[in-house]
Structure 1
Amino acid sequence: MGTTQAGGGATVRRLLLGSQLRKLREARGVSREEAGYSIRASESKISRMELGRVGFKERDVADLLTLYGVDAEQERANVLGLVRDANATSWWHEYGDVLPTWFQNYLGLEEAAAEIRSYEVQFVHGLLQTPDYARAVITAGCQGHGVGPEEIERRVEVRLKRQDLLTTEHPPQLLAVLDEAALRRPWGGPELMQAQLDRLLELSELPNVRLQVLPLGTAGLSAESGAFSVLGFTEAELADVVYLEQFTTALYVDKPAEVAEYRQAMDGLAADSLSPERTRELLHSVRQEL
């Protein structure tokens, strides 16, 4: 059994620090533009800080606290103490050369989450992939982009390291709804897919993993927008986040009304999907057909 990753902890502290700064700013009636001016930064930089999407400089946070009227020494010390933890280096930092910033943000959220609810259409979820399946998918995605074998292997390493969080001391609850088409898409041939199906069967037995397949022939109207993930956190101050990966970037949705729609869509998908028990039966059946 693994240990809790430091990266997720740093992400939580960054999110908490950003949330705290936003509340202090709003309580003082200061605009983002005014806050940005006080630390020689843009309004969008303040927005990214408050969303926990960038690192923090202690000097900037100290200046913002002064602007927001936080003068009590202990209160300032408590907030500034979060800065160091929020800027802690995460394990994926050493893979910065092969990971876009928008995906590094996701890795932090994934490790910090207490609950991950995901719908996948094209592929098996990254947390559930075998090394060979991950390599086949990543290689196909890199074709025509001048990506060499070494970089592909480093990307595979990242995907496999992500999977450690499923067996940490306090793992997240994972609900993975998988379109049946993904099971029947022949990445790398029958043997590779048999091994991937075996892996899904193995992981589906974990107490914190609920795997359901949306069978072919099901309309799946709950998710006409395609794949998405909803990440939930233990900390009451942290709102759920919806992650939508696109071709060259990702969207992070955190407005409560929009997040509620995605949660409702996920509930609908889970209801339309096979139960975990029937999902395992289907996995065995697909494996025998290969």
Structure 2
Amino acid sequence: MVNRKELDPERSPREKFGQVMRSLRDERGWTQEELAERAGCSSQHISAVETGRRPPTRRFASRIDRAFGTGDRLERQRQALGHAALLEGLDQYVAYERRAIEIRQFQIGIVPGLLQTTDYAKALAERDIRRGAITPEQADERRSFLARRQAVLMRPRPPMVLVVLDESCLVRPVGGTEVMDAQLARLVEFAHLPNTVFQVVPFAVGERRPFDLPVNLLTLEDRSLVAYAETHAQGQVDRDSSGTLSLLAGYHHLQAESLSQTASVAMIEQLREGTS
């Protein structure tokens, strides 16, 4: 079949869902147009979900289940992929992150996922379970996803990783004293890796801090830039050069306002003394 995209279920959760949907469609000998007619949506929507360009919503999965007569199989598949636990757009960003040669991050309030210890991540997930935002099963998927994401730091040729944390990430208690001490120790270990730059932007910087929201900025092998931003509802990947270059310039200003790596590690060690 001409222009039939090959799907890799290991590349992203969306492609895993798309592969299942395509297999069911192929078993019935239906075209995308025929499935769209039976499901009451456009063939363009079918194509976008099947090829992983658009995430499946609960309503969409239910419609496809009805069209195939598969009960709630697609809905269960959608849940199993962890889309209810992960922001829309995050899996797309992480697919780029795995290929990046440089990763730049700025975070406020919470240690970023790439640097979280297992217990720190578990405490955050348990908070979301208690408030009903996710189920225990979705929490497990979130932790599994995080472990796969952190593997990028262990690959044979790891990327250069530059991280700036707002001081609030260090002083906001998560999971209790022991969990925070271990998390702070993990940050010190990260700072000592040969392919990392670690800095803290202190509260004293005040209004000179150029960002009021987290920043995720990737450099790919072809030197192109990929940015990722989150709202409460979803994440958004941006490859537009004007926006990404502006973020890169702001990140350089952020680093200039931040403590040196040596001073940043000293701040953490001083905080650790207070948690012991």
Q: TM-score, normalised by structure 1?
A: 0.65
Query: Aligned pair in 2 of structure 1 residues 276, 234: CA closer, same or farther (>3 Å)?
Result: same
Distance (whole Å) between structure 2 residues aligned to residue 225 and residue 146 of structure 1: 25
Is contact 2:167–2:202 with CA below 8 Å preserved after alignment? yes
Query: Aligned pair in 2 of structure 1 residues 213, 53: CA closer, same or farther (>3 Å)?
Result: farther
State the shift of 1:214 in Å: 0.6
Tell me, what secondary structure is at the counterpart of 1:175?
A: strand
Is contact 1:230–1:241 with CA below 8 Å preserved after alignment? yes
1:253 corresponds in structure 2 to 238
Distance (whole Å) between structure 1 residues aligned to residue 88 and residue 230 of structure 2: 13
For the aligned residue pairs, the C-alpha RMSD in angstroms reads 2.9
1:152 corresponds in structure 2 to 139
Distance (whole Å) between structure 1 residues aligned to residue 193 and residue 11 of structure 2: 23
1:85 corresponds in structure 2 to none
Tell me, what secondary structure is at the counterpart of 1:252?
A: strand
1:24 corresponds in structure 2 to none
Q: Which runs of 5+ in 1 are unaligned?
A: 1-5, 12-39, 56-92
Distance (whole Å) between structure 2 residues aligned to residue 257 and residue 108 of structure 1: 22
Q: Which runs of 5+ in 2 are unaligned?
A: 1-9, 16-42, 55-78
State the shift of 1:286 in Å: 0.7
Tell me, what secondary structure is at the counterpart of 2:204?
A: coil
1:289 corresponds in structure 2 to 274
Is contact 2:163–2:197 with CA below 8 Å preserved after alignment? yes
Correspondent of 2:160 among 162, 173, 196: 173
State the shift of 1:150 in Å: 3.2
Correspondent of 1:121 among 108, 118, 123: 108
Distance (whole Å) between structure 2 residues aligned to residue 104 and residue 212 of structure 1: 27
Distance (whole Å) between structure 2 residues aligned to residue 220 and residue 281 of structure 1: 24
Tell me, what secondary structure is at the counterpart of 1:217?
A: helix
The range that moved more, 241-250 or 98-107, is 98-107
Q: Are 2:44 and 1:41 equivalent residues in the alignment?
A: yes
1:275 corresponds in structure 2 to 260
The range that moved more, 145-154 or 274-283, is 145-154
User: Superposition pairs for residues 57-136 of structure 1, below 5 Å?
Assistant: 95-96=81-82, 98-136=85-123
Is contact 1:228–1:245 with CA below 8 Å preserved after alignment? no
Please tell me the residue identity of whatever aligns with 2:219: G
1:89 corresponds in structure 2 to none
Tell me, what secondary structure is at the counterpart of 1:193?
A: helix
Please tell me the residue identity of whatever aligns with 1:288: E
1:140 corresponds in structure 2 to 127
Distance (whole Å) between structure 2 residues aligned to residue 172 and residue 279 of structure 1: 21
Tell me, what secondary structure is at the counterpart of 2:103?
A: strand
Distance (whole Å) between structure 2 residues aligned to residue 275 and residue 154 of structure 1: 36
Please tell me the residue identity of whatever aligns with 1:102: G
State the shift of 1:142 in Å: 4.1
Distance (whole Å) between structure 2 residues aligned to residue 251 and residue 101 of structure 1: 8
Is contact 1:222–1:266 with CA below 8 Å preserved after alignment? no
Distance (whole Å) between structure 1 residues aligned to residue 128 and residue 255 of structure 2: 28
Distance (whole Å) between structure 2 residues aligned to residue 192 and residue 278 of structure 1: 23
1:31 corresponds in structure 2 to none
1:199-247 deviation digits (Å, cap 9, x = unpaired): 11112111111111111211254434311111110125xx311110111
Q: Are 2:180 and 1:193 equivalent residues in the alignment?
A: yes
For these two proteins, the number of residue pairs brought into alignment is: 212
State the shift of 1:258 in Å: 1.4
Is contact 2:100–2:220 with CA below 8 Å preserved after alignment? yes
2:217 corresponds in structure 1 to 230
1:205 corresponds in structure 2 to 192
Distance (whole Å) between structure 2 residues aligned to residue 106 and residue 145 of structure 1: 26
Distance (whole Å) between structure 2 residues aligned to residue 248 and residue 170 of structure 1: 34
2:250 corresponds in structure 1 to 265
State the shift of 1:153 in Å: 2.4
